Amino acid sequence: MNIKQIKLHQLLMKMKTPFTTSFGTQQDRHITIVEAIDDTGRSGFGECVSGEDPLYSEEFMDASIIAMKKYFAPLVIHGEIDHPDDVWEKFKPFKRNNMAKSAIEGAVWDLYAKQNDMTLAEAIGGRKEKVDVGVSLGLEDTDELLLEKVKEKVDEGYKRIKVKIKPGRDVEMIRSIRDRFGDIPLMVDANSAYTLDDMETLKALDEFNLMMIEQPLAAGDLIDHAKLQKEISTPVCLDESIDSYEAARGAIELGSCRIINVKVGRVGGITQSKKIHDLAAHHDIPLWCGGMLEAGVGRLHNIAITTLGNFTLPGDTASSSRYWYEDIITPEVVAEDGVVEVSREPGIGSTVDFGKMEQYLQKTESITE
C-alpha cells in the first residue's frame, strides 16, 4: 500500500456538556487523529479513542500516543502491507494497546478503501445503506434533569435511549423514566459499577422490560456475569469485558451475555471486529456498535462497521452535534429519526476538514521512513 508517512494530529475538543458515567466525568476530550499518507500523497484517517485517564480501561491517551509513535506507526511504514487485514499480524508481538493499534489500523483501512475507490463499508464487507442509531445519556444530578434529556432525545427520534446507572441511581430513576415515557426502547449501562452482592437491585431492574443491561460487573468477571445472566431476565450486554476475540469466545461459551457491544478501538481494530462479528453471528448473539465520545473520524468508522449484517441493534453513533458545536469532518454525521445514511463517497465518506480542525489542534507529530 506504500505508506510513507504517518501524522498524529493531537486535538483538544471541549464537549458541549460534561458526560458522567459511574467511573467519572469528562468534558475536555483529547483526541488523536491518525493520518496515513501514501506515495501519491493520498491520506487515510483513523481516530484514537483512548480516554484521558485509565478509567474505562487500562489505556489512556498519553500512553497511546507513545505506543503509536514508538511501535505501531513505524511498523506500518516499514512493513509490507497488501491489505489492512495484514496490520493486526504485524502488531501482534506487542501486547494489548488495542486503541493505539486500532487508530493506526483504521487509517490504513480508510487509505485502502480510497486507493481502491470503495467506501470503507464496502472494503469491510458491509452492505447496509443506512444504520439505526440510539443515544447514550450520562448521569445527571437529579432525575428531573435526566428526564429532560430523555425527552429531548425521544423527540429527536433516536431508536433507543441508553442511560447510565450506578448504585443509588438505578431502580427509582428507571421507574421515573418508564412512568413518564412509557414503553420506549430503553437500556441501561453500569460501566462495571455493581457486584453480585447487588443481586437484589439487578433483579429489581427486570420489572422495566429493558432491552439490556450493559456491563453491570467488572470487566474481568465473565464467570460472575454468567451467574448473573442465569438469575435475571434482562439480557446482559458486555462492553468493557470484550477486549479481544478470545474474550468474546469466553463470554459466549460461558453464557456471560446475550448481546455484545463492539467498540472497534477496544478490540484492536476493524479486522478483529469482523472476526468477533462472524463469531457472534454463528452463535446468534446480536451486536451493536458502541461509542467512545469520538469526533467525526471515529464516528464514521463506527458507521462503516455497523453495515455488517449482525449489527442488528441500534448503536451509540448519534449525530456529531450530540457532543460537538463543530465537528472536524464535512459533512458531519447527522441522524434523522434515528437513522444515519452511509456515505457513498470513498473511504470514511466525509472529508477531514483541516480548517475546522485548526481550532482544536495542539500539535501534529510526523513519523516517516
Residues assigned a catalytic role: 164, 263
Q: Give the separation between CA 216 and CA 198, rounded to whole angstroms.
A: 10
Contacts of 212 (CB under 8 A, 6+ apart): 187, 188, 234, 235, 236, 237, 258, 259
Say if residue 243 carries a ligand binding annotation. no
- 12 strand-pairing partners: 30
Angle at CA of residue 346, ends 342 and 347, nearest 5°: 80
Q: Are 315 and 290 in contact (CB under 8 A)?
A: yes
Q: SS3 for 135?
A: strand
Give me the residues that bind ligand OSB (CB under 6 A), please. 56, 136, 189, 191, 239, 290-293, 316, 318
Is 239 one of the binding residues for Mg ion (CB under 5 A)?
A: yes
- Taking the mean position of all CA atoms in its chain, how far away is CA 201? 27
35 versus 59: smaller Cβ distance to ligand OSB: 59
Residue among 140 and 189 whose Cβ is closer to Mg ion: 189
Please, what is the minimum distance in Å from the beta carbon of residue 138 to ligand OSB?
A: 8
Q: Cell triple for residue 164? A: 447510565
User: What is the C-alpha separation between 42 and 3, in angstroms, rounded?
Assistant: 9
The minimum distance between CB 191 and Mg ion, in angstroms, equals 6
By beta carbon distance, the residue nearest ligand OSB is 291
Kindly state the cell numbers that stand for 94.
506487542
Is residue 239 annotated as involved in ligand binding? yes
Residues 6+ apart with CB under 8 A from 294: 31, 47, 49, 302
Could you tell me the CA-to-CA distances from 80 to 44, 71, 83, 109, 234 in Å, in that order? 17, 15, 9, 15, 47
Nearer to ligand OSB, 72 or 158 (CB): 158
The residue whose Cβ lies closest to Mg ion is: 239
User: Is 82 known to sit in a ligand binding site?
Assistant: no
Nearer to Mg ion, 170 or 214 (CB): 214
Which range binds Mg ion by CB under 5 A, 38-46, 183-191, 276-284, 297-305?
183-191
Contact 171, 205 (CB under 8 A): yes
Position 189 contacts Mg ion (CB under 5 A): yes
Report the 10 Å Cβ neighbour count for 89.
11
The secondary structure of residue 169, as a DSSP letter, is B
Scanning 3-11, 207-215, 265-273, 333-341 for contacts with Mg ion by CB under 5 A, the matching segment is 207-215
Residue labelled with grid coordinates 458515567: 21
**Window contacting Mg ion (CB under 5 A); options: 157-165, 208-216, 324-332, 360-368:** 208-216
CB-nearer residue toward Mg ion: 119 or 306: 306
At its nearest, how many Å lie between ligand OSB and the CB of residue 269?
18
Least CB distance to ligand OSB at residue 118 (A): 26
Please enumerate in sequence order all residues whose Cβ is within 8 A of that of 263, keeping only pairs 6 or more positions apart, or say none.
49, 239, 289, 290, 291, 292
Site stretch for Mg ion (CB under 5 A), options 4-12, 167-175, 214-222, 291-299 = 214-222
Number of residues engaging Mg ion in binding (CB under 5 A): 3
Q: Please tell me the distance from the alpha carbon of residue 128 to that of residue 309, in angstroms, as a whole number.
A: 8
Q: How far is the CB of 325 from ligand OSB (least distance, A)?
A: 16
Task: CB nearer to ligand OSB: give 268 or 290.
Answer: 290
In whole angstroms, the minimum distance from the beta carbon of 29 to ligand OSB comes to: 10
Residues making up the annotated binding site for Mg(2+) are: 189, 214, 239
Contacts with Mg ion, residue ranges (CB under 5 A): 189, 214, 239
